[in-house]
Amino acid sequence: MEIMQIVIFSLLSTIIIVMLRAHRPEIAVQASLLAGIIIFALIITKLSPIFEFIKIYTSKTNINMQYLPVLIKIIGIAYITEFGAEVCRDAGENSIASKVEMAGKVLIAILAVPIITTLLELIIKIMP
Amino acid sequence: MDIDLIFRIAAIGILVSILNAVLKQSGRDELAMLTTLSGLVLVLLMVAKEIANLFNLLKTMFQF
């Protein structure tokens, strides 16, 4: 049972971080960052069968395969942005967190441009 | 499962706290500041390695 492992790990690290935060807040921030990285590394490798599944069904339907990597890349950017912003917010730096989120949104918008372009082309073609 | 990394960070934090208290009691504030800084840098080195691992994992997973 992987979820038991993760819950026990997170409980232990939470206890340790709360203990550290009273005396050394700067080290507590880094410990919580490390706990997040470890949990993420443990669970992210389980995601590849799901991507394979999505790829198989995309190739079965007639969707252009070049959009799938863009989609997966957008998911990655969204996750990593959230991760960085949450670490900043935990440390009390709300302004930096919101700037990180804005940067993530801009990068996602840039990646989504080709998809939006094809959608707009389609709409223009349909319009009389 | 790398729980020992968290334990190591906790140990560094507690050690730095104790050293800080002792040095402050004996009136060496500049040395206490130096211990705090070195503890922070030590933990930062450990965390930086893990962040590099995380980014490599993300690159392979999300095909950047």
Alpha helices in chain B (DSSP H): 3-25, 29-62
Q: Are A69 and A88 in contact (CB under 8 A)?
A: no
* Pairwise CB contact (< 8 Å): B53 & A44: no
Same domain, A5 and A40: yes
Whole-number pLDDT of residue A65 = 77
Tell me the whole-structure pTM to 2 decimals: 0.80
Among B54, A103, A50, A82, residue whose Cα is nearest residue B64: B54
Express as a percent the part of chain A with pLDDT over 90: 41
Same domain, A36 and A72: no
- Which amino acid appears at position A59 of this protein? S
pLDDT digits (tens, 9 = 90+) for A110-126: 999 988 998 999 999 99
Same domain, A45 and A104: no
Token pair 């232990």 is found at A12
Smallest Cβ distance to A37: which of B10, B50, B64? B50
* Domain count across chain A: 2
Q: Is B7 on the interface with A (CB under 8 A)?
A: yes
Same domain, A70 and A126: yes
Whole-number pLDDT of residue B1 = 56
Q: Cα separations (Å) of A116 from A46, A109, A113, A122, A123?
A: 30, 9, 5, 10, 11
pLDDT digits (tens, 9 = 90+) for A49-89: 888 888 888 888 877 778 888 888 998 899 899 999 999 99
User: Domain of A74?
Assistant: 64-128
Same domain, A71 and A127: yes
- The residue in chain B having the minimum alpha-carbon distance to the alpha carbon of residue A78 is B62
Q: Which of A15, A31, A56 is the last residue of a domain?
A: A56
Same domain, A85 and A124: yes
Among A47, A112, A62, residue whose Cα is nearest residue B60: A47
Q: Which of A56, A74, A102 is the last residue of a domain?
A: A56
Q: Is B41 on the interface with A (CB under 8 A)?
A: no
- Has residue A104 got a pLDDT over 90? yes
Whole-number pLDDT of residue A78 = 93
Does ipTM top 0.90?
no
pLDDT digits (tens, 9 = 90+) for A25-48: 888 989 999 998 898 888 888 888
pLDDT in tens for each of the 64 residues of chain B? 578 888 889 899 999 999 999 999 998 888 988 999 999 999 999 999 989 988 888 888 887 6
Whole-number pLDDT of residue B22 = 92
